[in-house]
Amino acid sequence: MLALSNKNVQLNAAVDNKADAIRLVALGLTQNGNVKADYEAGMLARETQTSTYLGNGIAIPHGTLNTRHLVENTGVQVCQFPKGVDWGEGNIAYVVIGIAAKSDEHLTLLRQLTAILGDDKATEQLAKTQDIEEFIAILSGKKQLPVTAESLISLNTETASLLTLSALNAEKLQQQGYVEQAFVGELLESTLLKLADNLFINDAKSGNQANGIAVARATAGQTVVTIANADETMNAQLEKLLNKEVQQTLVSGSVADVVALFVEQKSVVEEAGVAEGLEATFEVLNEHGLHARPSAVLVNEVKKYDAEILVQNLDRDTPLVKAKSLMKVVSLGVQKGHKLRFVATGNEAQKALDGIGLAIQSKLGE
């Protein structure tokens, strides 16, 4: 999960332009030992290639692949600009998150950020709060976390090991702010409780930060439910696990079905606004996956067409999301070799799928 403190968060900042905003977060990254001084030039160069505006008033400037060797320690520097910064193309950034990441760690950071920043209310509060503790709580995902979400559900995992499934759940709960490292260590040494055929549950007494439920299911059907239990309000959710129909859904239902057991939500189709359409699946060839730049190229390609287009990452079993949203595309956490399924409707549906396929085949400009 994002490591945030007073050292790497600055509220109520003000600058004249985008370049100065980037220089400010770059300075913070340098002072905190995340990067060498030359990384700033890479951040400014990166911005000339493709805008790092993510959406919802958030920008995520970062270096180029050529400046990755200048990263000393993965981390972020966050500046809040209540008056906003013109980020070009009519976009105003109120929160600027400078990212420094080694290797493919940037994909994990981006997934964490987009899971939080997709919440309109959260981003609105980030833009205006003057309480640094509240700001950190929101951005680190520790405030008003849902009891579960699609990002906590892992289906069709290629393993026969219950320990591997437990570790996957623990990793997701930790990344998203539900638990601390102490929880992970204790959990992996604990004994699983069998609830039903192919269904197991575990938890830990230490390191619980928020109420949460993570579910990991193997391709053969073995399912592990991991509970983060921060307070007694979790009891009602735990009682559901004794219900036979709930148990059956956990071992055989879809991601949406599992989430719906614990959280009221719209269906993926209803939320996205598209019921059915033409489909195509493409394998991502980019060596470093879909980080911000190739994601932006993909979104720009999608926006060319008179069509409604959804996309999902089949390898992560994500829900369908709107392919014209950079934040949604980045949240898919796409790595090299992952397969993306596109669903398109509208006047140029087939043309869009053809164009998207060619763009992905050409490695989205990389």
Residues 188 and 115 in one domain: no
In a domain, 21, yes or no: yes
Q: Could you tell me how many helices (H) and strands (E) the chain has, helices first?
A: 14, 14
Catalytic residues: 62, 291
In a domain, 178, yes or no: yes
Residues 155 and 275 in one domain: no
Model confidence at 87: pLDDT above 80: yes
> Could you tell me the CATH number of the domain that includes residue 213?
3.40.930.10
In a domain, 217, yes or no: yes
> Could you tell me the CATH number of the domain that includes residue 295?
3.30.1340.10
In a domain, 319, yes or no: yes
What range defines the domain where residue 99 resides? 9-139
Query: 38-75, pLDDT tens digit by residue?
Result: 999 999 998 998 888 988 899 999 988 888 899 999 88
Query: 300-327, pLDDT tens digit by residue?
Result: 999 999 999 999 988 877 778 889 988 8
- Residue in the structure block whose two tokens are 């849902």: 146
Whole-model pTM? Answer: 0.58
Mean pLDDT (whole number) for 112-125: 73
Q: What is the model's pLDDT at position 143?
A: 57
Which helix (H) or strand (E) is 76 found in, with range? strand 75-86
Side-chain-facing half-sphere of 149: CA atoms under 13 Å? 16
Q: How far apart are CA 189 and CA 144, in angstroms?
A: 29
In a domain, 1, yes or no: no
Average pLDDT, rounded, for the chain = 88
Q: How far apart are CA 29 and CA 263, in angstroms?
A: 38
Side-chain-facing half-sphere of 4: CA atoms under 13 Å? 26
Q: How far apart are CA 355 and CA 351, in angstroms?
A: 6
Q: What is the model's pLDDT at position 275?
A: 46
Last residue of a domain, one of 238, 262, 286: 262
Give 105's pLDDT tier (boundaries 50, 70, 90): low
Amino acid code (one letter) for 174: Q
Last residue of a domain, one of 231, 262, 293: 262
Query: 216-268, pLDDT tens digit by residue?
Result: 999 999 999 999 998 777 888 999 999 999 999 999 999 989 999 997 544 44
Query: How distant, in Å, are the alpha carbons of 22, 166, 314 from that of 332?
Result: 26, 22, 10
3-state class of 228 per DSSP? Answer: strand
Query: How distant, in Å, are the alpha carbons of 74, 236, 277 from that of 168?
Result: 22, 24, 33
In a domain, 144, yes or no: no
Residues 27 and 126 in one domain: yes
Residues 248 and 330 in one domain: no
The total number of structural domains in the chain stands at 3
